[in-house]
Structure 1
Amino acid sequence: MTEHRAGGDGRHPRRRGQGELEIAVLSALGEAPEPVTAAWVQDRLGGELAYTTVITILTRLHAKGAVARQRVGRSFQWTPVADEAGLAALRMRRVLDGEEDRHAVLTSFVTALPPGDEQLLRDLLAQAGEEEGD
Protein backbone atom coordinates (compact mmCIF):
# COMPACT_ATOMS: atom_id res chain seq x y z
CA MET A 1 0.00 0.00 0.00
CA THR A 2 1.43 3.36 -0.96
CA GLU A 3 0.90 6.54 0.99
CA HIS A 4 -0.79 9.39 -0.84
CA ARG A 5 0.67 12.77 0.03
CA ALA A 6 -0.75 16.22 -0.53
CA GLY A 7 0.43 17.97 -3.63
CA GLY A 8 0.12 14.96 -5.94
CA ASP A 9 3.86 14.74 -6.59
CA GLY A 10 4.78 12.53 -3.61
CA ARG A 11 6.16 15.42 -1.57
CA HIS A 12 4.69 17.28 1.36
CA PRO A 13 3.74 20.87 0.62
CA ARG A 14 6.07 23.42 2.16
CA ARG A 15 4.85 24.47 5.55
CA ARG A 16 4.83 28.23 6.01
CA GLY A 17 6.10 29.81 9.18
CA GLN A 18 3.92 31.83 11.53
CA GLY A 19 5.50 35.09 10.36
CA GLU A 20 4.69 34.33 6.73
CA LEU A 21 1.08 33.55 7.60
CA GLU A 22 0.76 36.72 9.66
CA ILE A 23 2.06 38.80 6.76
CA ALA A 24 -0.33 37.08 4.33
CA VAL A 25 -3.29 37.76 6.63
CA LEU A 26 -2.22 41.39 7.17
CA SER A 27 -1.86 41.85 3.41
CA ALA A 28 -5.36 40.49 2.85
CA LEU A 29 -6.76 42.80 5.53
CA GLY A 30 -4.92 45.70 3.91
CA GLU A 31 -6.89 45.07 0.70
CA ALA A 32 -10.23 45.06 2.53
CA PRO A 33 -12.50 48.02 1.78
CA GLU A 34 -13.94 47.90 5.32
CA PRO A 35 -13.79 45.67 8.42
CA VAL A 36 -14.10 42.04 7.32
CA THR A 37 -14.76 38.60 8.76
CA ALA A 38 -12.28 35.77 9.11
CA ALA A 39 -14.17 33.95 6.35
CA TRP A 40 -13.49 36.92 4.02
CA VAL A 41 -9.77 36.72 4.87
CA GLN A 42 -9.77 32.95 4.31
CA ASP A 43 -11.43 33.41 0.92
CA ARG A 44 -9.01 36.23 -0.04
CA LEU A 45 -6.10 33.89 0.71
CA GLY A 46 -7.49 31.39 -1.78
CA GLY A 47 -9.12 29.13 0.79
CA GLU A 48 -5.88 27.23 1.30
CA LEU A 49 -5.85 27.84 5.06
CA ALA A 50 -8.35 26.27 7.42
CA TYR A 51 -10.84 28.69 8.97
CA THR A 52 -9.51 27.84 12.43
CA THR A 53 -5.98 28.69 11.30
CA VAL A 54 -7.13 32.09 10.05
CA ILE A 55 -8.89 32.73 13.39
CA THR A 56 -5.74 31.73 15.28
CA ILE A 57 -3.57 34.08 13.20
CA LEU A 58 -6.03 36.96 13.57
CA THR A 59 -6.18 36.38 17.34
CA ARG A 60 -2.37 36.41 17.58
CA LEU A 61 -2.19 39.58 15.50
CA HIS A 62 -4.80 41.15 17.78
CA ALA A 63 -2.73 40.24 20.85
CA LYS A 64 0.28 41.92 19.19
CA GLY A 65 -1.72 45.06 18.47
CA ALA A 66 -1.47 44.61 14.71
CA VAL A 67 -5.22 44.25 14.09
CA ALA A 68 -8.37 45.54 15.72
CA ARG A 69 -11.63 43.66 16.02
CA GLN A 70 -15.21 44.51 16.80
CA ARG A 71 -17.98 42.11 17.63
CA VAL A 72 -20.75 41.92 15.07
CA GLY A 73 -23.38 39.40 16.04
CA ARG A 74 -21.67 36.21 17.16
CA SER A 75 -18.39 36.84 15.33
CA PHE A 76 -15.78 39.56 14.86
CA GLN A 77 -14.92 41.88 12.04
CA TRP A 78 -11.22 42.66 11.68
CA THR A 79 -9.26 45.70 10.51
CA PRO A 80 -5.49 46.18 10.18
CA VAL A 81 -3.73 48.52 12.59
CA ALA A 82 -0.22 47.78 11.30
CA ASP A 83 1.23 46.79 7.94
CA GLU A 84 4.16 44.40 7.41
CA ALA A 85 6.69 47.02 8.54
CA GLY A 86 4.52 47.85 11.53
CA LEU A 87 4.34 44.17 12.49
CA ALA A 88 8.15 43.92 12.38
CA ALA A 89 8.37 47.05 14.53
CA LEU A 90 5.93 45.53 17.04
CA ARG A 91 8.12 42.39 17.23
CA MET A 92 11.24 44.51 17.78
CA ARG A 93 9.47 46.49 20.49
CA ARG A 94 8.32 43.30 22.23
CA VAL A 95 11.89 41.98 22.28
CA LEU A 96 13.19 45.28 23.63
CA ASP A 97 10.47 45.42 26.29
CA GLY A 98 11.49 41.95 27.45
CA GLU A 99 15.06 42.98 28.25
CA GLU A 100 16.21 44.42 31.57
CA ASP A 101 19.00 46.60 30.22
CA ARG A 102 17.39 48.59 27.41
CA HIS A 103 20.43 50.84 27.13
CA ALA A 104 22.75 47.90 26.47
CA VAL A 105 20.36 46.34 23.96
CA LEU A 106 19.88 49.58 22.04
CA THR A 107 23.62 50.28 22.13
CA SER A 108 24.40 46.83 20.73
CA PHE A 109 21.72 47.22 18.09
CA VAL A 110 22.89 50.62 16.89
CA THR A 111 26.60 49.75 16.86
CA ALA A 112 25.86 46.64 14.77
CA LEU A 113 24.01 48.58 12.06
CA PRO A 114 25.67 49.04 8.68
CA PRO A 115 26.52 52.70 7.94
CA GLY A 116 23.52 53.26 5.65
CA ASP A 117 21.06 51.95 8.25
CA GLU A 118 22.76 53.93 10.99
CA GLN A 119 22.36 57.14 8.98
CA LEU A 120 18.72 56.31 8.23
CA LEU A 121 18.11 55.81 11.96
CA ARG A 122 19.80 59.13 12.75
CA ASP A 123 17.66 60.88 10.13
CA LEU A 124 14.47 59.31 11.48
CA LEU A 125 15.35 60.29 15.05
CA ALA A 126 16.08 63.85 13.95
CA GLN A 127 12.79 64.00 12.06
CA ALA A 128 10.90 62.66 15.10
CA GLY A 129 12.59 65.28 17.28
CA GLU A 130 11.55 68.05 14.90
CA GLU A 131 7.96 66.81 14.89
CA GLU A 132 7.89 66.83 18.71
CA GLY A 133 9.07 70.44 18.67
CA ASP A 134 6.18 71.52 16.44
Structure 2
Amino acid sequence: MCAERLGSIPRVRTADESGDPAPRRRPGELASHVLNTLVEAGRPLSPGEVLELLDPSGALSYSAVVTTLTRLHEKKAVTRQRIGRAYHYTALTDPPALVAWRMSKLLESETDHTSILTRFVSGLDKQDEETLRRLLGES
Protein backbone atom coordinates (compact mmCIF):
# COMPACT_ATOMS: atom_id res chain seq x y z
CA MET A 1 0.00 0.00 0.00
CA CYS A 2 1.08 3.63 -0.10
CA ALA A 3 1.56 3.94 3.69
CA GLU A 4 5.33 3.93 3.28
CA ARG A 5 5.13 6.75 0.73
CA LEU A 6 2.94 8.76 3.09
CA GLY A 7 5.26 8.67 6.06
CA SER A 8 4.82 12.40 6.76
CA ILE A 9 1.11 12.02 7.57
CA PRO A 10 0.52 12.58 11.28
CA ARG A 11 -1.21 9.62 12.86
CA VAL A 12 -4.32 10.16 14.93
CA ARG A 13 -4.00 9.84 18.68
CA THR A 14 -4.96 6.47 20.05
CA ALA A 15 -5.01 4.79 23.42
CA ASP A 16 -1.60 4.56 25.04
CA GLU A 17 0.05 1.35 26.21
CA SER A 18 -1.83 1.48 29.52
CA GLY A 19 -5.10 1.32 27.62
CA ASP A 20 -6.16 4.82 28.66
CA PRO A 21 -8.10 6.59 25.94
CA ALA A 22 -6.40 9.30 23.93
CA PRO A 23 -7.14 12.89 24.86
CA ARG A 24 -10.08 14.46 23.05
CA ARG A 25 -9.20 15.95 19.66
CA ARG A 26 -9.42 19.69 19.11
CA PRO A 27 -12.22 20.87 16.84
CA GLY A 28 -11.20 20.35 13.23
CA GLU A 29 -8.17 18.21 14.09
CA LEU A 30 -9.50 15.03 12.48
CA ALA A 31 -10.65 16.97 9.41
CA SER A 32 -7.15 18.40 9.08
CA HIS A 33 -5.57 14.95 9.35
CA VAL A 34 -8.00 13.53 6.80
CA LEU A 35 -7.35 16.40 4.41
CA ASN A 36 -3.57 16.01 4.81
CA THR A 37 -3.92 12.31 4.05
CA LEU A 38 -5.80 13.05 0.82
CA VAL A 39 -3.29 15.73 -0.23
CA GLU A 40 -0.32 13.44 0.44
CA ALA A 41 -1.91 10.51 -1.39
CA GLY A 42 -2.27 12.46 -4.61
CA ARG A 43 -5.05 10.13 -5.77
CA PRO A 44 -8.66 9.44 -4.79
CA LEU A 45 -8.98 7.40 -1.59
CA SER A 46 -11.89 5.44 -0.16
CA PRO A 47 -12.83 6.00 3.50
CA GLY A 48 -11.26 2.63 4.31
CA GLU A 49 -7.96 3.67 2.74
CA VAL A 50 -8.02 6.97 4.64
CA LEU A 51 -8.69 5.07 7.87
CA GLU A 52 -5.86 2.61 7.21
CA LEU A 53 -3.38 5.42 6.57
CA LEU A 54 -4.50 7.52 9.54
CA ASP A 55 -4.84 4.79 12.14
CA PRO A 56 -3.44 1.37 11.34
CA SER A 57 -4.09 0.33 14.98
CA GLY A 58 -7.84 0.44 14.44
CA ALA A 59 -8.67 2.79 17.33
CA LEU A 60 -10.36 5.31 15.01
CA SER A 61 -13.83 4.32 13.81
CA TYR A 62 -14.78 3.97 10.16
CA SER A 63 -17.91 6.05 10.79
CA ALA A 64 -15.81 8.94 12.13
CA VAL A 65 -13.81 8.98 8.90
CA VAL A 66 -16.94 8.75 6.72
CA THR A 67 -18.63 11.57 8.67
CA THR A 68 -15.52 13.75 8.38
CA LEU A 69 -15.22 13.10 4.64
CA THR A 70 -18.92 13.88 4.15
CA ARG A 71 -18.55 17.18 6.02
CA LEU A 72 -15.45 18.08 4.02
CA HIS A 73 -17.43 17.35 0.84
CA GLU A 74 -20.28 19.61 2.03
CA LYS A 75 -17.71 22.38 2.64
CA LYS A 76 -16.34 21.90 -0.89
CA ALA A 77 -12.92 20.95 0.48
CA VAL A 78 -12.98 17.56 -1.28
CA THR A 79 -14.64 16.01 -4.30
CA ARG A 80 -15.98 12.51 -4.41
CA GLN A 81 -16.72 9.98 -7.09
CA ARG A 82 -18.37 6.62 -6.73
CA ILE A 83 -16.10 3.73 -7.64
CA GLY A 84 -17.87 0.44 -7.15
CA ARG A 85 -19.83 0.62 -3.91
CA ALA A 86 -17.75 3.30 -2.18
CA TYR A 87 -17.05 6.95 -2.71
CA HIS A 88 -13.44 7.91 -3.30
CA TYR A 89 -12.37 11.37 -2.18
CA THR A 90 -9.84 13.85 -3.55
CA ALA A 91 -8.66 17.02 -1.79
CA LEU A 92 -9.56 20.34 -3.42
CA THR A 93 -7.95 22.48 -0.76
CA ASP A 94 -5.30 22.27 1.91
CA PRO A 95 -5.70 22.43 5.71
CA PRO A 96 -4.75 26.14 6.02
CA ALA A 97 -7.49 27.04 3.53
CA LEU A 98 -9.97 25.00 5.56
CA VAL A 99 -9.00 26.81 8.78
CA ALA A 100 -9.34 30.18 7.02
CA TRP A 101 -12.80 29.14 5.81
CA ARG A 102 -13.80 28.20 9.38
CA MET A 103 -12.56 31.55 10.68
CA SER A 104 -14.59 33.38 8.02
CA LYS A 105 -17.72 31.40 8.89
CA LEU A 106 -17.30 32.18 12.59
CA LEU A 107 -16.90 35.87 11.85
CA GLU A 108 -19.94 35.85 9.54
CA SER A 109 -22.06 34.35 12.32
CA GLU A 110 -21.62 37.45 14.52
CA THR A 111 -22.63 41.07 13.99
CA ASP A 112 -19.88 43.03 15.77
CA HIS A 113 -16.98 42.31 13.44
CA THR A 114 -14.93 45.27 14.70
CA SER A 115 -14.84 44.04 18.30
CA ILE A 116 -14.12 40.48 17.26
CA LEU A 117 -11.28 41.45 14.94
CA THR A 118 -9.86 43.86 17.51
CA ARG A 119 -9.74 41.13 20.15
CA PHE A 120 -8.36 38.64 17.66
CA VAL A 121 -5.49 40.93 16.64
CA SER A 122 -4.73 41.88 20.25
CA GLY A 123 -4.27 38.17 21.05
CA LEU A 124 -1.73 37.56 18.30
CA ASP A 125 1.95 37.16 19.07
CA LYS A 126 4.33 39.70 17.52
CA GLN A 127 5.33 37.49 14.60
CA ASP A 128 1.72 36.76 13.60
CA GLU A 129 0.80 40.42 14.02
CA GLU A 130 3.66 41.45 11.73
CA THR A 131 2.58 38.85 9.17
CA LEU A 132 -0.98 40.16 9.27
CA ARG A 133 0.18 43.77 8.88
CA ARG A 134 2.36 42.80 5.92
CA LEU A 135 -0.50 40.90 4.27
CA LEU A 136 -2.91 43.81 4.78
CA GLY A 137 -0.32 46.19 3.33
CA GLU A 138 -0.05 44.05 0.21
CA SER A 139 -3.79 44.08 -0.48
Q: Greater relative contact order (Cα 8 A, min sep 6): structure 1 or 2?
A: 2
Letter in 2 for 1:99: E
The residue number in structure 2 matching 1:20 is 29
Decide which structure has greater helix share: 1
Sequence identity (%): 42
Give the ranges of 4+ consecutive aligned residues of structure 1 lying more than 6 Å apart after TM superposition.
Answer: none
How large is the RMSD of aligned CA atoms in angstroms? 2.4
Q: Which stretches in structure 2 are left out of the alignment for 5+ residues?
A: 1-14
1:82 aligns with 2:93: yes
Q: Quickly say closer, same or farther: Cα 1:20–1:115, change in 2 above 3 A.
A: closer
Q: Which piece of structure 1 moves more, 29-38 or 102-111?
A: 102-111
TM-score (norm 2): 0.71
Pairs aligned (count): 122
User: 2:111 maps to what in 1?
Assistant: 100
Shift in alpha-carbon separation, 1:125–1:73, aligned structure 2, 3 A: farther
Distance in 2 (CA, whole Å) between partners of 1:109 and 1:53 is 31
After the TM superposition, which of the residue ranges 60-69 and 95-104 deviates more from structure 2? 60-69
Unaligned runs of 5+ in 1: 1-5, 130-134
Residue aligning to 1:41: 50
Question: 1:15, CA displacement in angstroms?
Answer: 4.4
Structure showing greater radius of gyration is 1
SS of alignment partner, residue 91 of structure 1: helix
Normalising by structure 1, we get a TM-score of: 0.73
How many Å apart are 1:8 and its aligned residue?
6.5
